[in-house]
């Protein structure tokens, strides 16, 4: 029994010695090898050699990340690479550098690059392209600030394309897309100054020196006299009515300045002249007025036409002569 154990022990010791020598030998070989060489990977795509890398997972991650997320700065959204690189182990001399950068560049060249950018649209038509959505927002805001006519028709969409468009900067885009709003038509403000005249029911049934001689404004028939009372009027008649057909020209009884030309309530269309020295003449119920306030007319000039406007029951001229606001009987001066 003892000798069997002894034999085994001797064998065991021989094995141990052998293994130790083997380990030392391998160690020396490894030491020599790895002091000169280092482990690397040859990268190939479809058998085409791309280069060597020291860290295949780092390189592969970089490629995967790029395929998935692209590169914002270059507007690359993602890259479609159909065939992925293969890695095979090899030993290269220690001073050999990784070629990750050039491998990466070669590999992404084999893929289809999709660019991400934004199109700015006006009425659904692509007008220009920008890099970021923030620029789109800025362009729209710019057009709003300038109150561009198309400000509400501007939108944007994200684009994924294999070619990149030329970008337009915000300032230029706003300037290019701006459309001036049509200006509201300028309506000249009619300063319709019809003037003003006294119409109070102050009567003087006598005569006064007007300082001027008057002519008849129209020829016709007297239909209502000065001072007459009528249910049609709130007070006695402040003028003289002369019937004539509509359109009959009315002449200025004397030279003077037009101080009223327009609508005057119950008088209808009326024109009034100032002859100086407080003397005014009124021509009421006209169908047409031919002179404007401020114009000077000579005696006999056609200033208006007979009509039936205002409180009137038929075409006639209502003429008044007023001196310092008091109505005088026209009949005593002109008929």
Chain positions contacting Zn ion, by CB under 5 A: 239, 241, 318
Nearer residue to Zn ion within complex by CB, 151 or 316: 316
Backbone angles phi, psi at 49, to 5 degrees: -70, 130
* Chain residue whose CB lies nearest Zn ion: 318
Nearer residue to Zn ion within complex by CB, 38 or 233: 233
* Shortest distance, position 301 Cβ to Zn ion, whole Å: 22
* Shortest distance, position 286 Cβ to Zn ion, whole Å: 12
Q: What distance in Å separates the CA atoms of residue 22 and residue 44, rounded to the nearest whole number?
A: 37
Nearer residue to Zn ion within complex by CB, 51 or 239: 239
Q: How many CB atoms lie within 10 A of CB 1?
A: 5
Q: What distance in Å separates the CA atoms of residue 47 and residue 329, rounded to the nearest whole number?
A: 125
Among the listed residues 322, 133, 114, 335, the one whose alpha carbon sits nearest the alpha carbon of residue 214: 335
Nearer residue to Zn ion within complex by CB, 113 or 199: 199
Instruction: Give yes or no for a contact between 134 and 142, defined as CB atoms under 8 angstroms apart.
Output: no
* Shortest distance, position 237 Cβ to Zn ion, whole Å: 6
Instruction: Give yes or no for a contact between 263 and 194, defined as CB atoms under 8 angstroms apart.
Output: yes
Nearer residue to Zn ion within complex by CB, 132 or 311: 311
Give the start-end residues of each E strand in the chain. 37-45, 48-53, 76-80, 86-93, 112-122, 125-130, 154-161, 203-204, 221-224, 240-243, 249-251, 256-263, 269-276, 279-286, 288-289, 296-297, 302-305, 316-323, 326-328
* Residue for token pair 């915000």: 170
* Shortest distance, position 274 Cβ to Zn ion, whole Å: 20
Nearer residue to Zn ion within complex by CB, 70 or 239: 239
Helix (H, G, I), strand (E, B) or coil at 282: strand
Nearer residue to Zn ion within complex by CB, 78 or 267: 267
Nearer residue to Zn ion within complex by CB, 99 or 241: 241
Q: What distance in Å separates the CA atoms of residue 143 and residue 237, rounded to the nearest whole number?
A: 67
The two structure tokens encoding residue 180: 């001036």
> Cβ neighbours of residue 144 under 8 Å, at least 6 residues apart?
151
């Amino acid at each position: 029994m003892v000798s069997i154990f002894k034999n085994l022990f001797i064998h065991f010791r021989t094995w141990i010695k052998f293994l130790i020598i083997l380990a030392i030998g391998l160690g020396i070989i490894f030491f020599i090898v790895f002091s000169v060489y280092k482990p690397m990977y040859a990268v190939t795509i479809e058998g085409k050699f791309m280069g060597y890398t020291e860290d295949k997972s780092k390189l592969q991650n970089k490629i995967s990340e790029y395929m998935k997320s692209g590169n914002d700065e270059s507007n690359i959204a993602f890259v479609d690479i159909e065939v992925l690189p293969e890695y095979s182990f090899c030993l290269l001399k220690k001073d050999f550098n990784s070629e990750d950068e050039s491998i990466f560049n070669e590999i992404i060249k084999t893929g289809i690059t999709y660019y991400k950018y934004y199109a700015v649209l006006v009425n659904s038509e692509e007008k220009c392209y920008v890099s970021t959505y923030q620029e789109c927002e800025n362009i729209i805001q710019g057009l709003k600030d300038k109150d561009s006519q198309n400000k509400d028709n501007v939108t944007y969409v994200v684009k994924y394309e294999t070619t990149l468009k030329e970008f337009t900067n915000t300032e230029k885009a706003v300037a290019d897309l701006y459309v001036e709003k049509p200006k509201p038509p300028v309506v000249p403000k009619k300063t319709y100054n019809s003037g003003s005249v006294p119409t109070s029911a102050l009567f003087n049934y006598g005569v006064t020196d007007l300082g001027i001689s008057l002519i008849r404004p129209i020829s016709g028939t007297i239909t209502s006299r000065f001072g007459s009372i009528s249910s049609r009027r709130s007070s006695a008649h402040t003028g003289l009515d002369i019937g004539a057909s509509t359109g009959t020209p009315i002449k200025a009884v004397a030279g003077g300045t037009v101080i009223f030309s327009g609508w005057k309530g119950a008088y209808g269309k009326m024109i009034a002249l100032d002859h100086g020295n407080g003397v005014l003449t009124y021509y009421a119920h006209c169908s047409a007025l031919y002179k404007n306030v401020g114009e000077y007319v000579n005696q006999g000039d056609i200033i208006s036409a007979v009509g039936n406007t205002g409180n009137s029951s038929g075409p006639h001229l209502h003429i008044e002569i007023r001196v310092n606001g008091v109505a005088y009987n026209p009949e005593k001066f002109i008929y």
